Structure 1
Amino acid sequence: MNVYKNRNEPFFFLVIILGGSFAAIFFAPSALKLFGFSGMSVTEILERPEESAGRALLLYQCIGSLLMFLVPGLIMINRWKTHKINTLEKPNWGWINTILTIILLPLLLPFMDYLSSIWNNWGQQIPWLKGIFEQYNANTQLIEKMIFFEHIGDTLFSFIVFVIFAALSEEVFFRGTIQRFLHQSLKPGQAILIGALAFALGHLNIVQLPFLLIAGGVLGLIYWVSGRLWVSVLAHALHNGLTYFWTLSSGPGNYGTVASTQTNYALVIISCSIALAIIIKMVKTRKKI
């Protein structure tokens, strides 16, 4: 029997997702307890000068991603491993195709940053959104607490969590499970769009909503055109790596900023044109199957 056509499959999928979320809520705080920060608020942890505060937050992030995304995703992938989906059949694929697809997000970063600046300016003018946008600054400080360390071992752990583990866990969950499940009953464009929306909403970050929607859409497109989850994982990790190293080189207060404060419209147009040409080529490759 095709597991995707099982009426109980959506319910089982939902139970696995909720189970992972509750497990993350229950077990992730143990990381804070391990380092002696149990019962403290995020603000209190941010004010602590010890590097162990950053380590505790990193382990908290790692456990949360493991239980909320990676474990549920792997459970569903294993459950569906013998069931093929026609729209996700693997086309002929070489290293050139891999390079072209993984550079899509870096090419679109100037455009995504431009849209984010418009969104942020608009959000600051809306009374009920202004507080949310201001709170984002505190969240940025939280992330930077987990990035800037004096010791190379801590930096390596931070790199693994933010660049590699985050990309792997999120791609397994959002592309390997949610989008894959959508492909069995929807057209490719619809599956990619809904998957991108789930990816954006799953980050619980309204400040970066346009950025996350585009990133989710591009990663979903990469997964569809390649038919290979590892390609979207690689693309996601490259994007995370660029953001990570840019933040390290720019210093505190610049997390997630990969463009200058003044938009270079020529760069936006040129990079988007190249990205569009690559997308057209990849879609043609997909349709040859």
Structure 2
Amino acid sequence: MTTQQVYTSLINGTAGADIAAADRGLLYGDGFFTTVRVVQGQPDLWPLHVERLQTCARAVFGWAALPKSVLTLIEQELSTVTEGHQECGARITLTRGVGGRGYAPPESNADTVTRMVTAFAYPAVYSDWQRHGVKTELAAFYLGSQHPRLAGLKTLNRLEQVMLKQELAQRDTDELIVLDASGAIAEATAGNVFWRQGDTWYTPELAQTGVHGVVRQALLTKYPQIQRVNAQVNALRTADEAFVCNALMGQVSIRSLDGKALPTVRNYKNEAPFTLAGLSPC
């Protein structure tokens, strides 16, 4: 496994700064993040990333909204770390900062949070996956249920995903399809899942688990006729086609699941962004 190449990282706007040992993001996962694809200085799906940050700020920090001053700093720092790179990824992380006693949080505001904005090399394998699809297997590890206030959010509590990536590293496959505790399809190790049967497209409902990804949101907005379901894995095994998506890699076809080939594999490198075969936008 290769290590991700980091280009530039700013902590509260400063390069080379350190995270405090008492930062609540480190101690308790008290924060949230989003990961963005940036092309020629332009962040893809930026309004949806901002919406995610706003939703997380309300749910985790209890703010009415992400302060405009914080968002302005994030946008400036994102521009700084990605400057000079034709295509790269960037991670934006906000923690509650330092303070409080034990789990009890301090009252947080724009001046007390910790901002981390990091640019990194775009994974080269994604271009190949977009053209040829990915081989997948069913994960042994499954996702537990989350509290309704946190379901779908990209908080810093990612231990389940770490366990899944650890499992993936031990398997001879590109990706894993992950179930929830009830046995329903949830997501991949780092992306959402969609599949087609006949003329109908489906995606997991994710009411109590998983991450509501920004590409998933873009597709659901563009195609409201997509069915959100709690489906068993056989629905994916018998699908006419399927794909995994996230903000960095876009859409990549699922070529096979547990050795069984799916009938249709698309070259998403040549497809218009956010395209679903057989559907017209509403």
Shorter-chain TM-score category?
under 0.3
After TM superposition, the score normalised by the length of structure 1 is: 0.27
More relative contact order, 1 or 2 (CA 8 Å, 6+ apart): 1
Structure holding more helix per residue: 1
